[in-house]
Structure 1
Amino acid sequence: MLLSGFGTVIQLLYLLMLALAVVALVFASIAREDAYRAADKKTKKFWVILLAVAVAVNLFVPMLFLILAATVGSIVFLVDVRPALKAVTGGGNRRGGSSSDGPYGPYNGGR
């Protein structure tokens, strides 16, 4: 019974790693090519191919170390490359305010 529950947890982790790779691939695909150059990151083609391979590894190769390597690639894209792309393209702050604005106006540090 315990082994059955552990197998379910492992399957959920595999599914989570696959979902992470798919989300990273979608974000890499919809970003503009010139944003990659402006952010001084690898090319769009590089990231799309790398993340497509990550998705394929998650789907078709049942080797844990390859799946973990693919997950590391997805995490690097989501933590490093995507924020740099958003900063270059001006994404993330769509209301036009400052980054220190709270829900009721600018935050002034309690002054």
Structure 2
Amino acid sequence: MLPLATFPTLFPGFGNPFDVIWWVLLGLKLVALLDAAFRPRQVFVAADKLTKPGWVLILATFSLCQIFQGGWLSFFGLIGIVAAGVYLVDARPALRAASGRGRGGGWGIRRRRGPRPL
């Protein structure tokens, strides 16, 4: 008899909700790490944030801790979640604004310079 095509048999590693949460949080940490790694060093100085090697070291360390420890509910796992969240919510928008790709710039919308007409 053929085994049933259930979610755990189709996608091994996603057997229960905690495995899905583990993969989502690892993805969040890796997105933050890759974003920090590919930004120019000068943007971190211009945005007055922690330096690029500091962010990359913090995010890489806690991403590797999650991979090798295996749990996101550990002490280092929770600190890594907070570090990735702080980077994505606080540092990344400031870095985008400092590099000239923040809100309101681009997308074909021209900003009016000078006073508004009556």
Report TM bin, short chain: 0.7 to 0.9
State yes or no: 1:18 paired with 2:18: no
* Structure with more contact order per residue of length (Cα contacts < 8 Å, sep ≥ 6): 1
Taking the TM superposition and a 5 Å limit, the aligned residue runs for 1:1-111 are 8-63=16-71, 64=73, 65-92=75-102, 93-97=105-109
Structure-1-length-normalised TM-score? 0.77
Structure 1, unaligned stretches of length 5 or more? 1-6, 100-111
Structure-2-length-normalised TM-score? 0.72
CA distance in 1, matches of 2:16, 2:84: 23
CA distance in 2, matches of 1:20, 1:91: 21
Tell which structure's C-alpha radius of gyration is larger: 2
CA distance in 2, matches of 1:21, 1:50: 10
Alignment identity in percent? 37
Structure 2, unaligned stretches of length 5 or more? 1-14, 112-118
Report the RMSD for the aligned CA atoms in angstroms.
1.9
- Is the helix fraction higher in 1 or 2? 1
